Amino acid sequence: MLKREDNELLTRVGPGTPMGELFRCFWLPALMPHELPAPDCDPVRLRLLGEDLIAFRDSDGKIGILHERCPHRRASLFYGRNEEGGVRCLYHGWKFDIEGKCVDVPNEPPGSTFNEQVKVTAYPCVEKNGIIWTYMGPEKNPPPLPELGWAHVGPERRGALRYQRDCNWLQAIEGDFDSSHLSFLHLAFDPKQQNTAHEKKAGIDYYRNIARMDKQPLLEVQDTDVGVMYGARRDAEEGKFYWRVTQFMLPFYTSVPGFGGKNRDKVWVPLDDEHTMVWETHWSSTRELSAEEQKGWNDRVGPSGFLPDTNDWLGRHCFAANAGNDFLQNRERQKNVNFSGMENVTPIQDGAMQESMGAIADRTKEHLGASDTAIVWMRRRLMKAAKDVGQNKIPPGVKTPASYHKHGDQVLLGEKDSWPEHYTAKMKQDYAPLLAR
């Protein structure tokens, strides 16, 4: 369990909080380019780290992210006119460019320079790798973007899925950094859905089946230069062990083993203390993805799909299966089809458990066991990084983008084989052709 003050430190992300200041040292995924499709298109609402913002694309196609309130009389700039190189407030016509400068105050006397004294908070933006990134930190010269795997492949080899989780970011990311729940929450009884070993004796589906059959993985955890990784060992064939390697990378990246020839990375971006946007990126270093794969994975969304997007602060990328309808759990399905009774869609099953903890989980009442070792390490790494930022220390990874040349992986090894050595060699092999491009 955690002390109450440590739980507060890890979960609060607003301006001035230790964790909020840690996040602001890094670039944040904010939007996808298609959400701002053309110059002078409609502004969109955006919430990040507890701040209400608007995003727009100006007449030159450049992207701006500004605080939502006009500094004149505090009206919302979301309703403004996006025209001629800036957003013009509807109330009195004050206009702001992508840098937050007030470039026109039409209700002031001719020759007035009053506008030069006015500015709205603006955050730098970069459109790269199919994502609009923003930097909300203190540095005048923002750090480089992290070199995650999907940053090294072209658009034909990557895709991304997004969905909102209505809970604090920490309990959401902890769910991905937890190998033992695979044997329970995501268990399917139907062999056709489970891809059992007698149906397919090799490859990813065979590995996934082992992960569900052996309910007591042995965890070996290590710190890395930019976070924490662990190998979860399970019994496999005679004389062999299945190692499932999972990565946590500061401040909010995880990577679990992929399947279907794709690698998987996730970004757990806090919208505020009680809501998280999950970016689930997938990419291949060996093949081009189909158009459907590039858009997202249908098997990660499920038959119920998404609710229609709205203009609300928290009204986009929301699953139709949600707390309001008990995540469409069916008790008959729970008896005969799968362990959860929910659709065979892991984000929905994960979301149900994570949101059921409450908006912010009370970790003072936990009882952690051996299978939670990696989560304990991750929490300690996060608390240290946040406290170091408070002492003006640069967090790991901010200045070393190559530290992110890692992804989750899985392998069968003999009893005397070293999984860290094998994993390190595999990462060098995987990234060498990408870095040579």
Residues 6+ apart with CB under 8 A from 142: 27, 124, 135
Q: Is 274 within the bounds of a domain?
A: yes
Residue 357, Cβ density class (10 Å: 0-12 exposed, 13-18 middle, ≥19 buried):
middle
C-alpha distances out from residue 341 to 34, 40, 75, 349, 357, Å: 35, 46, 46, 9, 19
Task: Specify the number of domains making up the chain.
Answer: 2
Residue 310 lies in a domain: yes
- Residue 203 has what pLDDT? 43
pLDDT for the residue numbered 210: 61
Run of H or E including 194? helix 191-194
Structure confidence at residue 189 (pLDDT) = 85
Identify the domain boundary among 135, 168, 189: 135
Co-location of 81 and 107 in the same domain:
yes
Same domain, 113 and 215: no
| pLDDT in the model for residue 397 | 97
191 and 311: one domain?
yes
Inside any domain, residue 20: no
In a domain, 6, yes or no: no
CATH number, domain containing residue 101: 2.102.10.10
Same domain, residue pair 316 and 249: yes
The distance from CA 115 to its chain's CA centroid, rounded to whole angstroms, is 38
Picking from 123, 404, 432, the residue whose alpha carbon sits closest to that of residue 255 is 404
**Residue-level pLDDT at 196:** 38
Residues recorded for the chain: 437
Q: How far is CA 59 from CA 36, 39, 41, 246, 370, in A?
A: 12, 5, 9, 43, 56
Lookup: tokens for 230? 């662990």
Rg (CA), the chain: 23
In a domain, 143, yes or no: no
Q: What is the extent of the structural domain holding 35?
A: 27-135
ω into 251 cis (within 30 of 0): yes
Regarding whether 87 and 198 lie in a shared domain, the answer is no
The verdict on 155 and 219 lying in the same domain is yes
Q: Is 402 helix (H, G, I), strand (E, B) or coil?
A: helix
Residues of the chain with pLDDT below 70 are: 190-214, 296-299, 437
Answer yes or no: do 99 and 183 share one domain. no
Element (H, E) at 168: none
Q: What is the pLDDT of residue 434?
A: 83
Give Cβ neighbours of residue 266 (< 8 Å, ≥ 6 apart).
173, 176, 253, 254, 255, 256, 278, 279, 280, 281
Predicted TM-score of the model (pTM): 0.93
Q: Are 288 and 176 in a shared domain? A: yes
166 and 59 within one domain: no
The answer to whether residue 8 sits within a structural domain is no
Quote the CA–CA distance of 21 and 142 in Å, as a whole number. Answer: 14
97, 218: one domain = no
3-state secondary structure of 158: strand
Q: 404 and 302, same structural domain?
A: yes
